[in-house]
Amino acid sequence: MSDLNATREAAASKVSKAGGFPEQEQQPPGSTTAMNPVPDHGEDTWVGRDRLVGLKALITGGDSGIGRAVAIAFAREGCDVALSYLSEEQSDAEDVARLVEEAGRRCVLLPGDLQDESTCRQVVDEAAEQLGGLDVLVNNAGLQWGRRNSGLADLETEEMDRVFRTNLYGLFWVTQQALEHLGEGASIINVSSIQAYDPSTALIDYAATKAAINNFTVNLAAEVGPKGIRVNAVAPGPIWTPLQPATKKGESMPKFGEDTPLGRAGQPSELAGAFVYLASPAEASYVSGTVLGVTGGKPVF
Ligand code: NAD
Ligand code: MG
């Protein structure tokens, strides 16, 4: 079996296709080790091929889920990383730092709440200072709140405010500050969602932020293209990360991901390749202003 098939098989085998995941709930932001089963971030499978050698990346929300898989893959491809995350998740972040260092790369840990403008600016400047520059920004930190019965009528201002501040304000501030450090050949990768195209009524605020992130991606790509900076987004489908049991009703977990053409949720490890590709100045040199879907078959157009 090829390396690639072995990787795919290892990821897919973590999901029981019949019956899905056990019922479970956590409090946000959620913890990786409390999940059943623990997600696959490519710990045992990602094989680096020197695709990002010498680059320096800041990954927001890099402690768990998709961000953790990206951090592991980036490190094994030769990239030093800085991770931003909510401080409640220190032990998740320390686990990622250990994996990055085992790959022979530097890992800078930057806890802080990106709902706050000055924290956003500090996190970016600290990442650039400690890594000695910045080449890639992955805007991955995000929040949803899905324990609602329906849509707009159930939307509470406090939850909506937190979702908009985390997913949009934080992303705008972090990106604005990062552009002080990014130069020709650099790239920005935003994390969108299938929710931007096929929104669920219970996620009406979250889905709107993800549609806005797609619009921001295209607009910023136009602005910074002349400087040789590329801007893209990845739109994941249903992915098994702490975000799910931490923000959705426990009884929805067994069916999570079943409504995709591939009939299952994805593992974080199955997202990493999209990020490595978009970050690579050699492989994606002419790719900007696009949204790459990793959705298990749901359309992103
Ligand atoms: P996750 O909970 O593992 O990761 C999100 C991380 O964002 C958190 O761990 C936390 O450290 C960070 N974060 C949240 N609020 C923050 C704040 N205010 N300040 C700083 N950091 C903050 O979940 P995930 O599923 O890996 O989410 C990563 C991204 O993927 C999010 O943008 C999410 O919207 C997106 N996404 C996830 C799915 C999915 O099914 N899991 C689908 C589509 C899109
Ligand atoms: Mg987390």
For the segment 235-274, what is each residue's pLDDT rounded down to a tens digit?
999 999 999 999 999 999 999 999 999 999 999 999 999 9
Whether the pLDDT of residue 124 is over 70: the answer is yes
Determine the pLDDT at residue 147: 83
Residue 65 lies in a domain: yes
150 band by pLDDT with thresholds 50, 70 and 90: confident
Domain count, the chain: 1
Active site residues: 206
Determine the pLDDT at residue 7: 54
- Peptide bond before 29: cis, by omega within 30 degrees of 0? yes
pLDDT > 90 in the chain, percent: 90
What is the largest distance, in Å, between two alpha-carbon atoms of the chain? Answer: 52
Residue 15 lies in a domain: no
Q: Which residue intervals of 193-271 are DSSP H helices?
A: 204-224, 243-247
- Distance (Å, whole) CA 47 – CA 103: 10
* Any ligand 1 atom below 6 A from CB of 71: no
* Any ligand 1 atom below 6 A from CB of 234: no
Q: In what order do the strands lie in the sheet with 187-191?
A: 107-111, 80-85, 56-60, 136-139, 187-191, 230-236, 291-294
Determine the pLDDT at residue 89: 83
3-state SS record for 78-144? CCEEEEEECHHHHHHHHHHHHHHHHCCCCEEEEECCCCCHHHHHHHHHHHHHHHCCCCEEEECCCCC
* Any ligand 1 atom below 6 A from CB of 242: yes
Mean pLDDT score, 188-203? 97
pLDDT in tens, 28-87: 999 999 999 999 999 999 999 999 999 999 999 999 999 999 999 999 999 999 999 998
pTM for this predicted structure:
0.96
Distance 63 CA to ligand 2 centre (A): 5
Query: Of all atoms in ligand 1, which is nearest to the CA of residue 194?
Result: 43
Compute φ and ψ for 68, nearest 5 degrees.
Answer: -65, -45
Residue 280 lies in a domain: yes
Ion ligand 2: residues, Cβ under 5 Å? 29, 63-64, 89
- Distance (Å, whole) CA 54 – CA 67: 20
Q: What token pair was written down for 186?
A: 């650099």
* Any ligand 1 atom below 6 A from CB of 241: yes
For residue 136, give the nearest of 45, 29, 62, 229 by alpha carbon.
229
pLDDT in tens, 1-20: 455 555 556 555 555 444 58
Determine the pLDDT at residue 11: 54
Range of the structural domain that residue 149 is part of? 49-294
Mean pLDDT score, 273-296? 98
Mean pLDDT score, 157-178? 97
Q: What token pair was written down for 216?
A: 């921001």
Query: Of all atoms in ligand 1, which is nearest to the CA of residue 64?
Result: 3
Whether the pLDDT of residue 288 is over 70: the answer is yes
Which of 68, 216, 243 is the pocket-test mutation for ligand 1 (most atoms within 8 Å of CB)?
243
Q: What token pair was written down for 193?
A: 């969602």
Determine the pLDDT at residue 193: 98
Range with lowest mean pLDDT among 28-37, 89-98, 144-153, 226-235: 144-153
> Any idea which ligand is nearest the CA of 271?
1
Closest-CA residue, ligand 1 atom 33, reads: 142
* Any ligand 1 atom below 6 A from CB of 109: no
Determine the pLDDT at residue 146: 83
Mean pLDDT score, 175-185? 98
Determine the pLDDT at residue 61: 98
> What is the chain's mean pLDDT, rounded?
94
- Distance (Å, whole) CA 88 – CA 92: 9
Residue 254 lies in a domain: yes
Single-letter residue type at 218: V
Query: Of all atoms in ligand 1, which is nearest to the CA of residue 113?
Result: 19
Determine the pLDDT at residue 6: 58
List the beta bridge partners of residue 58. 82, 137
Determine the pLDDT at residue 283: 98
Query: Of all atoms in ligand 1, which is nearest to the CA of residue 236?
Result: 43
Q: What's the number of CA atoms in the CB half-sphere (13 Å) around residue 263?
A: 4
- Distance (Å, whole) CA 286 – CA 283: 8
The CATH number given to whatever domain includes residue 123 is 3.40.50.720
DSSP string, 38-73: PPP-STTT----STTTT-EEEEETTTSHHHHHHHHH
Residue 136 lies in a domain: yes
